[in-house]
Amino acid sequence: MVKVVVFDLDDTIVHSYPDWIRALCNAALTIGARVSKMTVETLRRNRHKDISEIVAAIWPGHDSAPFIAAIDEIAKTVPPLFSGTRGALLTLRDRGFGAALFTARHAADVEPVLAAHALEEQFIFLVSHDSIIHPKPHPEGLQKIVARCWDMGITRDEIVFVGDSMHMDWPCARDAEVRFVATLESGYPRRKELTEAGVPEDHIIGSISELPALIRRW
């Protein structure tokens, strides 16, 4: 039986992917680099990589500094909440599930997002980029949550991690030996990509709104 649901933030609860794509493309145009439909698709497939690595692959010969600055700027903005997410979080809370947040953002960048969407009281604890040494896909952050849950009398088998990335969230859950649910709402990755990466078909949902019904069956 699931007792705690751990959520990724970006493109799981809030939709930040379009802003990320737009920021990098605008940075490229500003320095005179070319942007095309193929650029956008390449960015989609490589979002899990370091910005310097992405720039070297797509815009070779260009300094990565303007791109990094663009991403740092959007980290300070508040992306929109996915439709149905608030209702799902409230449903889970009303049914007695605990919720935690595990994000690649720094804590200072998380708090304004939660406050803007009135979600500060929804999560029992937060693990952010600056509270761990090894970021995703390393399992350290999720293992930290498992340890805290253990102190509350909750076992690893009673935890589920919900995320969107087959490169970051899925390997993290797999290596931490925590059940994983992938959401498709951001449009990245696609169902076929997730199943090919090893995510079970019945652990993939179209949106967070489907989550309460799914985990109620476990």
Mean pLDDT of the chain: 94
What is the total residue count of the chain? 218
Mapped onto helix, strand or coil, the DSSP state of residue 44 is helix
Q: What is the pTM of this model?
A: 0.92
What is the tens place of the pLDDT at every residue in 161-188?
999 999 999 999 999 999 999 999 988 8
Q: Rounded to an integer, what distance in angstroms lies between the CA atom of residue 217 and that of residue 111?
A: 32
Residue 54 has pLDDT above 90, yes or no: yes
Q: Rounded to an integer, what distance in angstroms lies between the CA atom of residue 113 and that of residue 109?
A: 7
Q: Rounded to an integer, what distance in angstroms lies between the CA atom of residue 89 and that of residue 87?
A: 5
Q: According to the model, what pLDDT value does residue 75 have?
A: 84
Q: According to the model, what pLDDT value does residue 132 have?
A: 97
Q: According to the model, what pLDDT value does residue 74 have?
A: 87
Supply 104's token pair.
């690649």
Q: According to the model, what pLDDT value does residue 76 have?
A: 85
What is the tens place of the pLDDT at every residue in 64-108?
999 999 999 988 889 999 999 999 999 999 999 999 999 999 999
Residue 30 has pLDDT above 90, yes or no: yes
Q: According to the model, what pLDDT value does residue 158 have?
A: 97
Q: Give me the residues paired with residue 81 across strands.
A: 14
Q: Rounded to an integer, what distance in angstroms lies between the CA atom of residue 192 and that of residue 51?
A: 26
